[in-house]
Structure 1
Amino acid sequence: MSTGTPPPPPTGTPEQGPPLPPTTADPVLRAASEVIGGPAGRRLSPRAPWWARPLPVLVALTSVLVAVGAATKHHCRARGWSTPDQFVHACYSDLPVVYTSSGLAEGLGPYAPGVSLGQPPVTAALAWLLGLLAPPGAGAAAQRAYFDAGAVVLLLAALVTVVAVAAAAGRRRRWDALLVALSPLLVLSGLVSLDLAGVALATAGLALWARRRPVAAGLLLGLAVAARTYPVLLLVALALLALRAGRWRAAGTTLVAAAAAWVAVNAPFALSSPDAWSAYLRDFAGRAAGYGSPWLLPQLVAQAGGSADAAGLPPVAVTALTLGGWFAWLLLVGLLVLWAPRRPRLPQVAFLLVAGSCLLGPAFPVQASLWLVPLAALALPRWREHLLWWAAEAAYFGAVWLFIAGQSTPERALTPELYALFLLLRLAALGWVVVAVVREVRSPWRDPVRAAGLDDPAGGDLDRAPDALVVRVA
């Protein structure tokens, strides 16, 4: 391994011209557009009416999909979130269930004695604030009101996310945000939990970094880490790319601002309620393999063989495998960043890190896929791989609820071997997207963004920056 001399600056040029219509930028959409008259023409030109421009279309489509997601929860909303109905009808949502089971329905604060949320501070505070909009008690009316309030907040979070993706994609690639606005994951998982709030903060922080606002980007990313822990990997991606480019001033500002925001939010709760605050951190260590994790497969194999009480891997082994897998993946991604023939784009590195944490984690719940939606849209703006991944996610979404329903109603259950098949299908589909991103990092001419003459629209201070450190592996 040797350190090479800095290569010449990349050939990317500043963005020029109007947004590229999606049916001219992607072969899958171009072929599909024949059903409605062929690729985009004058109606999507710069002189198009306001309602045919990217942002109005994206906002309208996102709103429709979230509304469809709310409609899929109608059975539970009308009859209550009860087992096994909420799983058989695939209308389960953490929002009303956690509200009534955590102690929030009794009017207690997010980290008050007797409340067991197990969530980071921003998410816990949001869950408590939503409770103020629901009537007292834990009855069906309170659950309904809490879910409705949460649905409105999550719709706003989805809109922030899609607008932020459009901003981070840059003017020329603004239509790439359709991969978020039309993602079926908004329908399937958007209202399962409050994860979309953290996704919105993280994506907005990424958009501010793209607009060269390092302090504001850091503050939002720090709040995002205080809502969902995964956005810390976006900061790791930024640090890796700053190392390759040798440009630390803006990146360092963002990292410091993120740390300051995280401390400012966490310190009051850590000092006043240390045990309740640290519950979400302690939950990671020593936990058994959860739904969606590859570490659950040994237990499923044992159950398929007739061992109904199979315990699977011990918690200590799950923790060791997870930490070892994450560390190895971080090293591999770091090496790829420094070794690639051209500095990878920020969304590519961020996607690889977050996807690896999902694929190798102790659990991979359906709502965790929302973390990947905006990053995948920016990292791989090509519809073929997304359609494959979406199909696998939809199949797994139905399978996991039927498998969980079987814990209380065996006659309506999905067998362990079938659930394992859908679990592997989901992991393989996401793995295929990872492979596609790695292939484009290794061969930048395959990247649709760089093939259009751009460098890294979401890269902010790193966009069109020359390299300072390149590692060559003999």
Structure 2
Amino acid sequence: MSAQPSTDRPDVPSATSDGFVRGLSQFIGGPLGSHATRPDARPNRFWTAPRLVLALTCLILALSWVQKSPCMSGDWQKNVQYTRFCYTDVLALYYAEGLNDGAVPYVDHEVEYPVVTGYFMGALGLPVHWWGTKQDPSINQGTWFYNANALVLSLLAVATAAVILALRRRRPWDAAIFALSPVLLVTATVNWDFLAIGFAAVGLYLWVRRRPVWAGVFLGLGAAAKLWPLFILGPLLVLALRSGRIRPWVSAALGTTITWAVVNFPVWFWHHEAWLRFFRLNSTRPVDWGTLWYIGRYLDGKWKSGAAGDQGPFQWLSDHIPTLNYVTYALFGLGCLFLVGLGLLAPKPPRLGQLAFLVVAFFLISSKVWSQQYVLWLLPLIVLARPKWGAVIAWTVAEIGYFAAFYAELIGAGGKPVIPEGTFVLASSLRLITVAVLCGLVVREIWRPELDVVRRSYGGEDPDAGPLSGPDAGWVQRLRWSFGVGRPTPGTVGAPPDEPVIVKI
């Protein structure tokens, strides 16, 4: 077993693993020297690395609230919600879902979101409506509703940063990638995604603390808010198979399933049609902006002559949504099979953060819907999977470029084009490519664990393995040898005996 570091003293990025930070440190005299007095060595220091990261998270979220302020009144004249980049579903759906009229989600109106999101909308929206109609009719209900949501979602974002810090005690500055991200600034309150993110983060923390049932409970709550936390069970299963310890995974899976079923049951039983709306909407939804399929459809139009019946494959799929659904499921399924093979054949068990990032990224790449705020799903996961600033910054630039191009496209949808369609497709392609590059870099570090900076800080082990930490099951090595991976040279220690050659006549 690899030796663990003798101390939990935090790493300093400029002096250890991050080439980007090390390069920037040249402007202030270079990396911290081996004999320098470390900032964390000073006793009774209030501004420790974790407190600084949490303070930075709060600062960015406060700036995000300011950035959304032009839209808070709900008076969206002359496309102000797009020209100021302040659009938010939270405010728009307060009116679209009937909350401003006191409609109870699922009972009086078929909400298009999973039930935990609908419960949350009602829990904040109905008191605001009651106060605005019974106590103080002068208030702007939409503004109050947005501010209440922004406060809770921001608290969940801070909790997510706290979980990252708790999972990376030796690498607290990794969490600054999350805290300082421009995508957090511009998308934190676009929708209710931090409900799922916050629940999933707590679930991962409880898994690391060896509480698989409670981890499953929070993953189930997250999956009942947005679907993607359910995918984390896949990486956990791969790691459970590799370790030969299935019971913790079964406990987590049961906790997830039972929790999801319990919170869904009231709506499923008493308002079944309203419960089905989310699933029906996603099955009939057309190709969305900026997806792989949107890009392909645009390229079809450029490459084909336009003659009658001369359709490219992406255009054909866009016109046949049921078939496109099956294609997206198949592609995502193939991606999951790839992760199973990678997880079982890699030299060391992949880290949970690596596989979790890959499975969610594969889902987004193959999906027909990739909303602007879905970038938040990947942000904490890439911090856990590959906390290197350079590649993350390149991806962030692409995401912000897409964000701006998307709003320009929405303005143009009103009849006055702002940018050429090709520019939007280019921005969409760069977002797709940078996510794919991040996936490739994570896969590379799974296959070559010596390149993994997190393993380096934790003595070669996975700090997120929780109840699955420990050696591989015996069959894993035989499986790797059967695929010709990691097989020692015959005659060396640990090599399997030479197999006799049988000649059939």
TM-score (norm 2): 0.86
Q: Does 1:242 align with 2:240?
A: yes
Q: Give how far 1:50 is off.
A: 4.2
Displacement of 1:140 in angstroms is: 8.7
1:237-386 counterparts in 2 under 5 A? 237-301=235-299, 312=315, 313-314=318-319, 315-386=321-392
Equivalent residue number for residue 187 of structure 1: 185
Pair 1:128–1:204, CA change in 2 (3 A): same
CA distance in 1, matches of 2:104, 2:51: 38
CA positional deviation for 1:276 = 0.8
The equivalences for 1:58-457 within 5 A come to: 58-78=53-73, 80-82=75-77, 84-113=79-108, 115-135=109-129, 136=132, 141-169=140-168, 171-301=169-299, 312=315, 313-314=318-319, 315-411=321-417, 413-452=418-457, 453-457=459-463
Amino acid of the residue matched to residue 273 of structure 2? D
Amino acid of the residue matched to residue 440 of structure 1?
Answer: E
Deviation at 1:228, TM superposition (A): 1.0
How far residue 288 of structure 1 moved from its aligned partner, in angstroms, is 1.0
Partners of 1:15 and 1:457 in 2: CA distance: 15
Contact residue 224 and residue 264 of structure 2 kept, 8 A: yes
| 2:489 corresponds to | none
1:30 is matched with which residue?
22
2:491 is aligned to none
Query: Looking at both structures, which has the greater relative contact order when contacts are Cα pairs under 8 Å and sequence separation is at least 6?
Result: 1
Unmatched 5+ stretches in structure 2: 485-505
Of the structure 1 ranges 280-289 and 358-367, higher mean CA displacement relative to structure 2 is found in 280-289
Distance 1:48 1:288, change over 3 A: farther
- 1:464 corresponds to: 470
Displacement of 1:15 in angstroms is 7.0
* Contact 1:83-1:405 at 8 Å conserved across structures: no
Indicate whether 1:11 and 2:23 are aligned: no
Taking the aligned partners of 1:457 and 1:120, their CA distance within structure 2 comes to 32
Tell me, in whole angstroms, the C-alpha distance in 2 between the residues paired with 1:354 and 1:108.
Answer: 34
Q: What RMSD over aligned residues (CA atoms) do the two structures have, in Å?
A: 2.4
Letter in 2 for 1:28: F
Q: Secondary structure at the match of 1:228?
A: coil
Of 65-74 and 140-149, the range deviating more from structure 2: 140-149
Q: Are the counterparts in 2 of residues 338 and 469 from structure 1 also a CA contact under 8 Å?
A: no
Q: Give distance in 2, aligned partners of 1:429 and 1:14.
A: 34
CA offsets per residue over residues 68-117 of structure 1, 9 Å max, x none? 1122212222562456221222111000001111112111212113x232
Aligned-partner Cα distance in 1 for 2:360–2:138: 38
Q: In the aligned structure 1, how far is the partner of 2:424 from the partner of 2:150?
A: 29
TM-superposed CA distance for 1:153, in Å, is 0.8
Q: Secondary structure at 1:283's aligned position in 2? A: helix
Contact 2:74 2:91 in 1 (8 A): no
Structure 1's consecutive aligned runs of 4 or more residues displaced over 6 angstroms after TM superposition are 137-140, 302-307
User: For 2:370, what is the secondary structure of its paired residue?
Assistant: coil
Q: Take 1:21 and 1:238, find their aligned partners in 2: how far apart are those partners?
A: 30
Distance 1:352 1:158 in 2: 21
Give the letter aligned to residue 262 of structure 1. Answer: W
Q: CA 1:247 to 1:192, structure 2 compared with 1: closer, same or farther past 3 Å?
A: same
How far has the Cα of 1:39 moved from its partner?
Answer: 4.1
Give the unaligned 5+ runs of structure 1. Answer: 1-9
Measured after TM superposition, the shift of residue 163 of structure 1 is 0.6
Deviation string, structure 1 residues 239-260 (Cα, Å, up to 9, x no partner): 1110111111222211111111
Q: How far is 1:120 from its partner?
A: 0.9
DSSP 3-state at the match of 1:325: helix
Q: Which moved more, 1:463-472 or 1:415-424?
A: 463-472
Q: Distance in 2 between matches of 1:279 and 1:192?
A: 21
Q: Percent identity?
A: 31
**How many Å separate the matches in 1 of 2:448 and 2:421?**
40
Structure 2 counterpart of 1:144, one-letter code: T
State the one-letter code of the partner of 2:209: R
Q: Is the 8 A contact 2:74 2:142 kept in 1?
A: no
Task: Report the CA distance shift for 1:429/1:274 in structure 2 as closer, same or farther (over 3 A).
Answer: same
> Are residues 1:55 and 2:50 paired?
yes
Q: Secondary structure at the match of 1:284?
A: helix
CA contact (8 A) 1:212 1:461 kept: yes
- Cα drift, residue 316 of structure 1: 2.3
- In structure 2, C-alpha distance between the alignment counterparts of 1:183 and 1:16, rounded to whole Å: 29
Offset at residue 414 of structure 1 (A): 2.3
How many pairs were matched up?
460
- Say if 1:366 and 1:418 are closer, same or farther in 2 by CA, change over 3 A: same
**Deviation at 1:48?**
5.1
1:175 Cα deviation after fit: 2.5
Q: Which amino acid aligns with 2:246?
A: W
Taking the TM superposition and a 5 Å limit, the aligned residue runs for 1:36-51 are: 36=28, 38-39=30-31, 42=37, 44-47=39-42, 49-51=44-46
Deviates more, 1:337-346 or 1:17-26: 17-26
- The alpha carbon displacement at 1:324 in A equals 1.4
SS where residue 52 of structure 1 aligns?
coil
Q: TM-score, normalised by structure 1?
A: 0.91
Code of the aligned partner of 1:18: R
Q: Cα offset for 1:334?
A: 0.8
